[in-house]
Amino acid sequence: MRIHQLMVRARVLDERMIQMSKSGEGYFWIGGPGEEAFNVCLGLQLKKGCGPDYDFLHLHYRSLATLLAMGMPMLDATRQAAVRITDPHSMGRNFLGHSALRKWNVVPVSSVVGAKFAMAPGTALVQKRHGGDGVTVVVGGDAGSSQGDFATCMIWSTRPGQELPVLMIVTNNQWGISTPMRSQHSEQHIVDRGEPFGIPGEVVDGNDPIASWHALRRALQWCRRKRRPFMLESQVSRLHGHSSSSGAMRVENEPDCLALWETKLLAAGVLTRASIDELWEAARGEAAAAVQQALQEPEPTPDDVRRHTYAPSPVDVVYPDDYTGLPH
């Protein structure tokens, strides 16, 4: 039921932020309706914290449900959607879905398709040298797997005697913005590309929370224990198109993981229709409150535009008050 609750909260929040982008309350939307089953299970199994003892996360711009499962409040997403200075990810600088949270090792999401795959071996190398069981998790779409950075990740994580604990996740929704997957990929499954590098892989139905949970558990355990890479391809849906740039309208012919999961829960007698309706209503109230709170908070100012471009310094003439000493 915890997984279901988080899936509902993620879906409601995404739908409310789509409304923000259409009403002028926000400026852009991109998110993960259709990926909630898989992404919630990922967020609940991560070892979150700061530093190499914990998992490093190179997330996708569709990873909202993962962050909610990790404990991020809805308000931190609506702040980003409304472009507020209180946005903890970028102080209102970056697109919605471009997360960056040092406290949980969430590496800043790049808008460049696939770039995160080239970054992941760097954090994994730190973890390998540090010791422990921390894993680097990198999440991208099927379009990102077409980039050279994807091959870079496979090469650097499988060098003989220097293998790295990288979990490469491809959330395959069959589309790269407007490019059908089958017009780009000749292989049957994207995980097949790991075979020449000796990277084991698995394909999972990302619309099934139970299958997703166990597949993620196996993949994470492999990386933690073997200190070697693993590739997981999750077959998911894209229920509102690519982003607000393409209209964000509901796509009716895609499987809906949330509707499928609720059908199973009702059939098993785990939940009733009344309890499901109550949960949705509570989530809508939470999302509405998060939007209203964000809209009341201040926007960035021109004086803030260069803040955090460089690390605080005792000789910073632009923001001299930002320097409080060297980090511990």
Q: What is the pLDDT of residues 242-280, one digit of tens each?
A: 888 888 888 888 999 999 999 999 999 999 999 999 999
Q: Is residue 315 part of a domain?
A: no
Q: Are 272 and 57 in contact (CB under 8 A)?
A: no
Structure tokens at 80: 């980003």
Query: For every one of its 328 residues, what pLDDT tens digit does the chain have, with 9 covering 90 and above?
Result: 899 999 999 999 999 999 999 999 998 989 999 999 999 999 999 999 999 999 999 999 999 999 999 999 999 999 999 999 999 999 998 989 999 999 999 999 988 989 999 999 999 999 999 999 999 999 999 989 989 999 999 999 999 999 999 999 999 998 887 787 787 788 889 999 999 999 999 999 999 999 999 999 999 999 999 999 999 999 999 999 888 888 888 888 899 999 999 999 999 999 999 999 999 999 999 999 999 999 999 999 988 877 777 777 888 777 788 877 766 5
pLDDT, residue 40, reads: 99
Tell me which residue has tokens 């898989």: 38
| pLDDT tens per residue across span 47-75 | 999 999 999 999 999 999 999 999 999 99
| Length reported for the chain | 328
Q: Which of 6, 142, 143, 161 is nearest to 68 (CA)?
A: 6
Residue 311 domain-assigned?
no
Other CB atoms within 10 A of residue 156 CB: 20
Q: What is the CATH number of the domain that holds 197?
A: 3.40.50.970
Give domain status of residue 172, yes or no: yes
Q: What pLDDT is attached to residue 327?
A: 61
**Looking at the 3D structure of the chain, how many domains does it have?**
1
In a domain, 182, yes or no: yes
pLDDT for residue 252: 85
pLDDT number for residue 314: 82
3-state DSSP assignment of residue 129: helix
Residue 145 forms part of a structural domain:
yes
Question: Is the residue at 152 inside a domain?
Answer: yes
Give CA separation, 76 vs 24, 104, 147, 288, in Å: 18, 14, 31, 13
| Rounded (5°) CA angle 91-94-99 | 85
Asked whether residue 308 is assigned to any structural domain, the reply reads no
Domain that holds residue 246: 2-297
Please report whether residue 323 resides in a domain: no
